[in-house]
Chain A
């Protein structure tokens, strides 16, 4: 579990802001103007009715213009922090100002197999192995499914993913489902593990990541999921994506203002449905289309930090995107982009930094790459740790005692403090001969070996038998309904 704190003066944490508070307010005002003037299209009648009843204006059947007052009211009731628990009911992640946690992404359509280096279609066993590796890696704080399994019925792949996550790790889960019914089933499974609906609400260990078409187009399933979760009092991540230059302005400020307008639609709706419903905002950089390749890149630098500053401004928990790469394989570009995006997202203070281990702009995943990301997270944690400048740390007496010609290797001070430094697990620091003696392996090869070692040795805590049975029954029920 990482212990990172950003912008925490009392703690001595690093201070970082990509844009100023005044700039944040300006973007916020722009989002309010978009909602009042342009409005958003909503494809769910209950959502439209809720907004209309609260004072929004509706035209063209589903185009909703939301006055600023409704947004301000929602800010007065939405919780400013969310605690996510592990599956044993222990508090695991405090999603609040300045706390950063790392996790995987979901639903990759391809996997680079760490055993062969081959890119292939993922199967359910890949999800299982991915979760077992996440369970073992100490800096992976929460999990998402990683892969979309192609060997199960496509309409219920989300149920199989949820089952695999529950079985193979106790860490908090961020789940994604195809349809609304998948979300309902995922919640039911989580309730079974927690021991009931009230227990899950009290100690939620799973949050739903809701995909919204664009900032101003809100699809039916997204709105249904949002309202269902608000009613249940369970945390929802409401994530509209407008690709900058395509479905939104190419400029970071305009793009963020547009996506944020969409987030605010979700915020208002969640609070209208149930005041105090836990809501997690998006710090996902919209991703501006690469105008040469027509790919929407995952590790671009331009927008990173802008939506984060806005979420700080709101004092709302936020969902960020890092540890990902646009490279096709586990190579130098993948390592560089993973490190840069993780550092930028952490400095930005994203509470849930997802997509560790992603390649190919979100289409492919790798367990070896995930191990590298775990290593990077450790590096970042130590780099951003507060610096101790007490007398004990300055060690003036020791310096004087040793004098100009002394050495510090055998001092108690060295003995008590040297272990506090960071030591890598897969980054290599040996000299050339040592490195060669250990096989002369590249980072990717060492990371793949680490994956194999974890899979051979690590046994996650199993689900109680009766719980596992009930979970299986939910998966089977869903499968039958689609046959």
Chain B
């Protein structure tokens, strides 16, 4: 019986029905299934299928986003249960992300955050126009593995370099991997400012993040 319910959860993620994913997760908890089982054999199994379908070109971006949304909503239900059991979902790593000071472009950065959290990272999204000090403070506070810096404008991409320098000043540069993104950003720019990596899109960013924490 429980196998059938977990299959249904997987399907609700794969076929993009977030409300159903939440209802089924609630039902699974009521049936006495372990939160970690629901995550591993239901939700994450679904996300893996969605990722494969995207890679092969069968799925488009909206499929990814709606699946990630279902996963996130179900996790909100599961997190208090995990806490109560003094368990934790296996975190791929801690990520702090935001658009740099002077840049109010939100969407690309949020997309990367969503995709990362759907891939098991614990994501702290600081929003847009984030001051350099706020980035540094949050990295210290969370002990983040990865810092993601977004800049859409050629005028704000230079702020990415400032953040990297501030991390050095604060003496925590070697504790965190810095990844950068945005329309004008390139691998070359990443090397110029001594960031640890660059990805062209959200899928690439998740791949890069996985490599960084491996």
List residues of chain A with CB under 8 Å of any chain B CB: 43, 107, 109, 121, 148, 154-155, 178-179, 213, 217, 219, 243, 245-247, 289, 291-294, 363
Contact = CB atoms under 8 A, between A and B. Distances in A.
Interface stretch (B28-36, B56-64, B82-90, B136-144): B56-64
A213 B104 contact: yes
- Give the top 4 A-B pairs by smallest Cβ distance, nearest first: A291-B60, A291-B61, A294-B201, A178-B155
B104 A219 contact: yes
Interface in B190-213: 201-203
Contacts of A246: 107
B105 interface: yes
Contacts, number: 36
28 contacts: A43-B104, A109-B154, A109-B186, A121-B188, A148-B154, A154-B154, A154-B155, A154-B158, A155-B155, A178-B155, A179-B155, A213-B104, A213-B105, A219-B104, A243-B107, A247-B107, A289-B61, A291-B60, A291-B61, A292-B57, A292-B60, A292-B61, A293-B201, A294-B61, A294-B111, A294-B201, A294-B203, A363-B183
B57 A178 contact: no
Chain A interface, DSSP helix/strand/loop, else mixed: loop
B61 A107 contact: no
Contacts of A217: 104
Contact of A178 (B104, B105, B154, B202): B154
B184 interface: yes
Contacts of A148: 154
B196 to A, nearest CB: 22
- Size category of the binding interface on chain B: 10 to 19
Contacts of A178: 154-155
Given A213-B105, A291-B61, A107 B154 contact: yes
Contacts of A363: 183
A213 B201 CA distance: 20
A291 B58 CA distance: 11
Interface string B158-187: 100000000000000000000000011010
Given A107-B154, A178-B155, A294 B104 contact: no
Contacts of B155: 154-155, 178-179
Contacts of B183: 363
A243 B60 CA distance: 16
A256 to B, nearest CB: 19
A247 B109 CA distance: 13
A247 B186 CA distance: 24
B158 A294 contact: no
Contacts of B184: 109
Interface in B98-149: 104-105, 107, 111
Contacts of B107: 243, 246-247
Given A148-B154, A219-B104, A291 B201 contact: no
Interface in B39-79: 57, 60-62
Given A109-B184, A247-B107, A294-B201, 11 more contacts: A109-B154, A154-B154, A178-B155, A179-B155, A213-B105, A217-B104, A291-B61, A292-B57, A292-B61, A293-B201, A294-B203
A293 B201 CA distance: 8
B152 to A, nearest CB: 9
A11 B209 CA distance: 61
